[in-house]
């Protein structure tokens, strides 16, 4: 779900969204005795001087395990030719190899699903993204100087609302971080209130980008106000079922995972806790979805190529606000557009929730994709593992 927005390339915060991979990476000193178990299928040929994209991703997965991750999985895809890599284990207890087909918690990658539903509702003339939050959620944002009558739905989705992040309060201490009460009932409004109480307004709505998971809790609440259904039900009906995402689900209360999944872990000093069973209500519509590399790739390709949105709404999805002064990163509605070091542009996002971290990149036309995920996140961004696996994903995408 991430408050530490996966801003590894962008210097954004870390939490539900995207942990920063910028500078000062903290390296956890752990035994790297986990044997790297690698799988590569369907790989195209490449010269010795230029490693194949999957080989680059595989080397990054190995580095991630050496950095202390229990396991890393990855995927590159050109057209319909998918190649998979994996290193380490999916469960430290059983030592089963990490499976690139396994499910994992996708964290803030959930945000693109939520923005898609709201854009579909706009296309059906049931709301406007320029409606205020107060129109649909009267009284939901009315504390500590914040006024929902001055914040639009669009500003929630592109993170220019100026609202503080509730997750910043929860991620460093308390039951969620310690995973002591995975069934604690946490209604979205309670979490929104925690966020509003964190600090007084630091900027006016629409003034600047500021990643906040509070925005997407409110976005999910708007979906329910407009449709009468929980956001999970709308995501299921509008996205998961039409795209045939058989390994994707949106849990709303049950903290467990089922079927073939990666076990999630949290490294705390020299201890590694299994946090697979964790509170999904903490992330909610900001980051609770469970999926796979294949399903996430299918969704992002379908989204960017207009299979889920009408042309007008697709244009809105891709309209970005600046994230960095250099103009190399812009944030749209639930995803970001970035210029990579190799000069290529890509759409993508990342997701980080307790126990799991993942990222994806997709070309404008959906023909080139690179994704990776690991089964460790302890609510801190900028680790060496995030840097090594993230760079490998970027380099693999550049090599496609």
- Residue of 91, 30, 106 whose CA lies nearest to 64: 30
**Sign (positive/negative) of CA torsion 303, 353, 86, 46?**
positive
- CA 285 – CA 273 distance, rounded (Å): 25
What amino acid positions are annotated as catalytic residues? Answer: 108
Q: Would you tell me the crossing angle of helices 53-66 and 384-399 to the nearest 10 degrees?
A: 180
Assigned token pair, 235: 């995501």
DSSP 221: H
- CA 235 – CA 392 distance, rounded (Å): 31
Whose structure tokens read 């080397």? 59
Assigned token pair, 143: 């504390």
Assigned token pair, 71: 């396991």
Q: Where are the alpha helices (DSSP H) in the chain?
A: 53-66, 110-123, 133-136, 153-157, 167-170, 174-178, 188-196, 213-227, 231-235, 241-243, 293-304, 311-317, 384-399
Assigned token pair, 104: 């994992």
């Amino acid at each position: 779900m991430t408050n530490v927005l996966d801003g590894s390339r962008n210097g954004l915060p870390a939490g539900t969204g995207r942990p920063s991979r910028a500078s000062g990476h903290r390296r956890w000193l752990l035994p790297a005795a986990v044997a790297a178990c690698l799988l590569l299928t369907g790989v195209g040929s490449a010269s010795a001087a230029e490693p194949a994209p999957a080989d680059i991703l595989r080397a990054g997965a190995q580095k991630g395990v050496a950095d202390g991750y229990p396991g890393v999985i990855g995927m590159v895809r050109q057209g319909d030719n998918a190649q998979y890599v994996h290193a380490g284990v999916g469960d430290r207890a059983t030592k089963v190899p990490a499976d690139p087909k396994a499910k994992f918690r996708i964290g803030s990658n959930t945000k693109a699903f939520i923005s898609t539903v709201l854009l579909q509702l706009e296309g059906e003339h049931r709301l406007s993204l320029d409606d205020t939050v107060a129109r649909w959620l009267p009284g939901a944002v009315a504390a500590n100087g914040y006024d929902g009558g001055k914040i639009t739905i669009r500003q929630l989705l592109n993170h220019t609302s100026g609202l503080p992040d509730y997750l910043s309060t929860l991620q460093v201490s308390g039951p969620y971080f310690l995973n002591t009460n995975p069934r604690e009932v946490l209604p979205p409004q309670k979490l929104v209130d925690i966020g509003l109480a964190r600090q007084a307004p630091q900027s006016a709505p629409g003034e600047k980008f500021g990643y906040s998971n509070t925005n997407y809790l409110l976005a999910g609440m708007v979906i329910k106000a407009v449709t009468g259904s929980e956001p999970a039900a709308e995501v299921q009906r509008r996205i998961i079922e039409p795209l045939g995402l058989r390994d994707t689900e949106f849990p709303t209360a049950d903290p467990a995972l089922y079927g073939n999944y990666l076990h999630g872990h949290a490294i705390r000093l020299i201890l590694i806790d299994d946090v697979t069973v964790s509170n999904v209500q903490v992330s909610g519509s900001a980051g609770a979805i469970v999926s796979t590399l294949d399903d996430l790739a299918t969704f992002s390709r379908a989204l960017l190529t207009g299979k889920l949105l009408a042309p007008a709404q697709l244009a809105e999805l891709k309209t970005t606000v600046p994230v960095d002064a250099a103009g190399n990163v812009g944030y749209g509605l639930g995803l970001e557009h970035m210029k990579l070091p190799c000069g290529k542009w890509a759409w993508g996002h990342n997701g980080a929730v307790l126990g799991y971290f993942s990222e994806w990149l997709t070309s404008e036309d959906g023909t080139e994709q690179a994704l990776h995920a690991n089964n460790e996140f302890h609510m801190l961004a900028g680790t060496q593992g995030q840097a090594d696996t993230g760079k490998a994903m970027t380099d693999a995408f550049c090599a496609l």
